[in-house]
Every structure is written in structure tokens, then in C-alpha cells.
Amino acid sequence: MSTPLPESAASRRPAKTLLDGEALSRTLSRIAHEIIERNDELGSLALVGIRTRGVPLAERLAELIEERTGTEVALGAVDIAFRRDDRDHAGSQPVVGDLDLDLELRGTTCVLVDDVLYTGRTIRAAIEALFAQGRPARVQLAVLVDRGHRELPIRPDYVGKNLPTARVERIQVQLVETDGVDRILLVDGPEEAVR
């Protein structure tokens, strides 16, 4: 005799694929093109991926920009785990070196790259991490998916897809580098980590 699933699990719909690998690739290509168009000085551009999935997205964007322009842009990564204002880290101190970037920030245009924009709190924490290390000339934001529900006045400069969602749904980005497949799914259930 099988054990019945809890009602909440039984009532969940299967994940719905919103973008497959080909569509995701086209979306990144468009974002790279927009970054090139809006930034005349690509030599002073740095793409900073927000861990975890923002890092491979930034790497892919850097490759696309170099393919199209011949200019190699700086790459970096930021880990905001200890900078979130909606986490209880009593007694925790921000990790030294939470920004991995081998260049002087002064005078650069930093494009923060993330997979999903939700409340805006992840982006606020990433900006705080950037400014703790230096002062870039400009900070721009590139996100693969904007799902709405902002709690802070944060707006992306580059958006792959606007995918409005209900709060009881979440967007799950899967990338070859981290998950073995490229796709974006709509999944029932609360957000695992508020973004």
C-alpha cells in the first residue's frame, strides 16, 4: 500500500519549462548586444556575477562580448551570503574577500549579473559588497529573469525575460555549469531563498 502524498505536494503542478537551452542562449546573446551598445568604453567594463548562477552567466556574457568586439572584459564574482538584510546572522561578520575581482574599481562600469531578480535584496547586498571594495564610476544590473514582487527600488538595466509570477511560484534557472542543463522552469512552491 502506498503512502498518500501530503495535500500540498499532491496539489503541486509539475514544473513548466519557460525557456529551453536554445532560447536561453538567444536571450544571453541579446543581453550581450545591449551591454555593448550602452557602454562605449568596454575596456573599463567589469562583469561581476552574483554567486551562484550569476557567475557562469557573467562568464558567458564576457565570452559573447569578446567574440563580437575583440575586447576582453574583466570578470569577477561576489558572494552576498553574509550581507543579506533578511537573514539572521547574529554575531556573523561579512566574509573578507566576498568580492573576487582583480582590478581597481575606481573608474569602472560594473555590471552586476544575476539569474533571477525578485525582491531586490540580493542586488542591494551585492552593491554594498562592491562599494566596500571601492567606488566604481557606474553600476549596472543584468538579470536573466525579472519575476516582479520588488521590495526595494531596484530596476535592472538589462533583462533577459520578464516573467511575472505569483508569490506561491518560483523561477528555477538551471545552467549547464551548475545543473548539467540549460533551462528556466516555473515551479510551484515558496521561494527557497528570497532574492
CATH number of the structural domain spanning residue 44: 3.40.50.2020
> CB atoms < 10 A from the CB of 145, how many?
25
Distances (CA, A) of 195 to 8, 94, 145, 164: 23, 18, 12, 15
pLDDT tens string for the chain (195 positions)?
A: 444 545 454 456 789 999 999 999 999 999 999 999 999 999 999 999 999 999 999 999 999 999 999 999 999 999 988 654 545 544 444 343 477 877 788 999 999 999 999 999 999 999 999 998 889 999 999 999 999 999 999 999 999 999 999 989 999 999 999 999 999 999 998 765 444
Residue 118 belongs to a domain: yes
pLDDT at residue 193, as a whole number? 47
3-state helix, strand, coil in the chain (%, to 5): 30, 30, 40
Distances (CA, A) of 114 to 8, 77, 117, 157: 30, 10, 7, 12
Q: What is the CA radius of gyration of the chain?
A: 18
**Can you give the residue range of the structural domain that contains 54?**
22-81+103-166
Residue 150 belongs to a domain: yes
Residue found by looking up cell 538589462 in the block? 158
Residue 9 belongs to a domain: no
pTM: 0.85
Residue 13 belongs to a domain: no
pLDDT at residue 194, as a whole number? 43
- Asked whether 53 and 115 are in contact (CB, 8 A), the reply is yes
Residue 143 belongs to a domain: yes
Q: Into how many domains does the chain fold?
A: 1
